[in-house]
Amino acid sequence: MSNRPLGSAFADAGDGIVRALREEPNFRIQLVIALVALAGAAWLHFSVAQWLVVVLIIGIVLAAELFNTCLEHVVDLIQPEDHPLARFAKHAGAGAVLVASLSALVVGLLLYGPALAAWIHSR
């Protein structure tokens, strides 16, 4: 077990996020979508329960994207040449992000759909 200070662990985690922002276009796309979702939740005056769901699903999608990035880099480090198992690992990681993103889409439709319909009817 490491005896590193907690601050160092947070700094390393922050570095990973900053590098993903700089180097991973898909992470930036997911982050922009997250910001739009947060703005929409504020605009539609979501309840605390709705906010909890939105924040949780955003965290799941962004974490999945970071895990996928990590997996891709580790696979490239261990197996730089093309290999069926390396390809499968990368595809499975991308599939995990897709599952999280599609789940977020369904949750978004269930949360934002009725809220938008209520807003439209109130006009």
CA distance 50 to 73: 35
CA distance 46 to 107: 14
Say if CB 69 and CB 89 are below 8 A apart. no
Residues taking part in catalysis: 65
Token pair, residue 117, equals 């319909």
Say if CB 90 and CB 71 are below 8 A apart. yes
